Amino acid sequence: MKKLLYLFFVVLAFSACTNLEEELREDLPEGETPEPSALLASTYDAMRLPYQDQTRWWAAQEHTGDACLGPTRGGDWDDNGIWRVLHNHTWSADHDFLGSTFSELLQIVFATSNLLQYEPTAQEAAEARMIRAFVVNTVLDGWGQVPFRRDGTSLLDDAEVMDAETATNYILDEIDAVMGSLPESPTNRANKDAAKVLKMKVLLNKGMYMNRSNPTFAEGDMNTVISLADEIINSGNYSLASNFFDNFAPDNDAISTENIWTAENIGGSNSGNVRSRWFCTLHYNQNPSGWNGFTTLSDFYDSFEDTDFRRGADYEGMTDVGGIKAGLLVGQQVDQDGTELQDRNGNPLAFTREVSLVESGNNLEVTGIRVVKYPADMVSGDNADNDYVYYRYADVLLMKAEAAMRKGDNGTALNIVNDIRMSRGASELSSIDEATMLAERGRELYWEGHRRTDLLRFGKYLDAWQEKPASGNERLLFPIPAGSLASNPNLTQNPGY
């Protein structure tokens, strides 16, 4: 296997249209043995599409939740309803974005397994296995079953399919196996603290993965979540940022005190589609100009107190250059000099609280509250410099608080949540329960790609909310793409599709 043509592996691993279960010929020519370091760098780059692009895992996590909406604006953003069906939970088995996400994630799993054939160093192997475990968890989270080839198995055989229990145990075992060989830093590599966060997330969601309609939370798992959180807290390497939006800024690699694991983006030359975090929501006439698409909802906006910094604030390098604030944008928009902006029809560019899945009338360009979680890179063009955040410290604190709450230790949970709220300019809560914990995770982690998983774990994913009726149990899992079903008989379609 070591001498299979390297180019073949690259194409198989990273082409978005390649099916991982294609027939392979045994008489492939031999080629040069690739460098594991190059394969690992390519794997990190390959993570950009499924995690950073607005059409992939981020859309699956946020558009299906209660804080993101992709309204059709006349002929704009219709795309045959591909955004609308995510929000109102009416997607079908052939949803293009969901199918592409599934395939691209599995290509990364294949690429990391392939890398391990070429005698990587202990650290390179650990990073590859950590990435593989991370991606396997994403597939488990979304689809509930994971096609997987054990190391050393033949590519001519159909991949086995791990069920929820098998995949969960696999991830946990892999994390424990590689922990000692992972680097301590930097944040843009799979590192020890990132592995601890991944283990926390798997243990916190374990009961949901086993029974999505009635999640349970074993005390032993919650104890381990708390213990891992304490290791990260007591390391002294992290603290809550004095400016919330520094965690997402163009220079967040230098100024964030919270980021634990990020995807490196190099401004002006080499980055993923992190720019979509502001392009997908800003109006054409703002600076930077956007695509005038996605919004949040007024119910979510109203969950913030007026003093909560996370809801919106000036941000140096963006507000003083283009007039745009960080956070949630509502009302009249202005440029850097305070001059009121207009839409393309000469009407005031004033974003409204009101928004619907299908917009009509004369205010198509301004409906909906806009979101700028990542301050725009005003100098780097399409290759923005903002490193994309996978894991950060505030999430660790909130997971510890949730685990404590699920053990009945509401005092500890409340203290942690209030520490975060006070650092963000919000008032202290007087009590904590599941509803307030879920709401606080929403306020802290909005548009970071966690919301669907949180709603599932708290048993709220099927509820009705703005522009969405209650949905059925078949929405608890995404559909397996038809091409994958056809090529691997070990896969079975999820219920309801």
Give the pLDDT confidence of 302-346 residue by residue, as tens digits: 999 999 999 999 999 999 999 999 999 999 999 999 999 999 999
- Lowest average pLDDT, out of 7-11, 185-189, 207-211, 287-291, goes to 7-11
Nearest of 479, 440, 439 to residue 460 by alpha carbon: 439
Q: Given a cut of 70, is residue 167 above it in pLDDT?
A: yes
- Percent of the chain at pLDDT > 90 equals 89
The DSSP 8-state label assigned to residue 158 in this structure reads P
Report the alpha-carbon distance of residue 324 to residue 95 in Å, rounded. 34
Report the alpha-carbon distance of residue 319 to residue 314 in Å, rounded. 6
What confidence tier does 97 reach under pLDDT thresholds 50, 70, 90?
Answer: very high
Please report which helix (H) or strand (E) contains residue 390, including its range. Answer: strand 388-392
The pLDDT value recorded for residue 2 is: 36
Contact predicate 34/6, CB 8 Å = yes
What confidence tier does 369 reach under pLDDT thresholds 50, 70, 90?
Answer: very high
Q: Given a cut of 90, is residue 51 above it in pLDDT?
A: yes
Cβ neighbours around 466 below 10 Å, total: 16
Cα–Cα distances in angstroms (integers) from residue 198 to residues 27, 176, 222, 453, 475, in the given order = 40, 11, 14, 14, 24
Contact predicate 357/341, CB 8 Å = no
> To 5 degrees, how large is the angle CA 354–CA 359–CA 360?
115
Query: 425 burial class (0-12, 13-18, 19+ CB within 10 angstroms)?
Result: middle
- Lowest average pLDDT, out of 71-75, 211-215, 349-353, 429-433, goes to 71-75
Cβ neighbours around 353 below 10 Å, total: 15
The whole-number average pLDDT for the span 39-58 is 98
Alpha-carbon dihedral of residues 17, 21, 25, 28, nearest 10 degrees? Answer: 60
Greater pLDDT, 23 or 445: 445
The pLDDT value recorded for residue 30 is: 57
At CB < 8 A and 24+ separation, what contacts does 333-339 make? 333/283, 333/286, 335/287, 336/287
Please state the length of the chain.
497
The pLDDT value recorded for residue 158 is: 82
Report the alpha-carbon distance of residue 379 to residue 268 in Å, rounded. 8
Q: Where are the beta strands (DSSP E) in 153-244?
A: 160-162
Q: Given a cut of 50, is residue 471 above it in pLDDT?
A: yes
The pLDDT value recorded for residue 31 is: 60
Q: Given a cut of 90, is residue 15 above it in pLDDT?
A: no
CA atoms within 13 A on the CB side of 203: 27
Q: Given a cut of 90, is residue 424 above it in pLDDT?
A: yes
The pLDDT value recorded for residue 464 is: 98
Report the alpha-carbon distance of residue 196 to residue 182 in Å, rounded. 11
The DSSP 8-state label assigned to residue 144 in this structure reads S
Cβ neighbours around 254 below 10 Å, total: 9
Greater pLDDT, 30 or 113: 113
Average of per-residue pLDDT values in the chain:
93
Contact predicate 62/373, CB 8 Å = no
The pLDDT value recorded for residue 482 is: 96
Q: Per-residue b/e over 429-456, b at no fewer than 16 CB within 10 Å? A: eeebeeebbbebbbbbbbbbbbbbbbbb
Q: Where are the beta strands (DSSP E) in 440-486?
A: none
What confidence tier does 422 reach under pLDDT thresholds 50, 70, 90?
Answer: very high
pTM: 0.94
What confidence tier does 363 reach under pLDDT thresholds 50, 70, 90?
Answer: confident
What confidence tier does 7 reach under pLDDT thresholds 50, 70, 90?
Answer: very low
The pLDDT value recorded for residue 154 is: 66
Tokens of 59: 């859309």
Q: Given a cut of 80, is residue 57 above it in pLDDT?
A: yes
What confidence tier does 85 reach under pLDDT thresholds 50, 70, 90?
Answer: very high
Contact predicate 362/438, CB 8 Å = no
Q: Given a cut of 90, is residue 354 above it in pLDDT?
A: yes
Greater pLDDT, 485 or 361: 485
Cβ neighbours around 298 below 10 Å, total: 16
Q: Given a cut of 50, is residue 49 above it in pLDDT?
A: yes
- The residues, any chain, with a CB within 8 Å of residue 98's CB and separated by 6 or more, are 60, 91, 142, 478, 479, 481
Greater pLDDT, 101 or 153: 101
Report the alpha-carbon distance of residue 276 to residue 290 in Å, rounded. 9
What confidence tier does 74 reach under pLDDT thresholds 50, 70, 90?
Answer: confident
pLDDT tens across 221-263, in order? 999 999 999 999 999 999 999 999 999 999 999 999 999 999 9
Q: Angle 393-406/410-423 helices, nearest 10 degrees?
A: 150
Q: CA Rg, the chain, in Å?
A: 22
The pLDDT value recorded for residue 164 is: 98
The pLDDT value recorded for residue 337 is: 98
Please report which helix (H) or strand (E) contains residue 385, including its range. Answer: none
Cα–Cα distances in angstroms (integers) from residue 200 to residues 195, 221, 412, 436, 490, in the given order = 9, 9, 18, 21, 30
Amino acid at 474: E
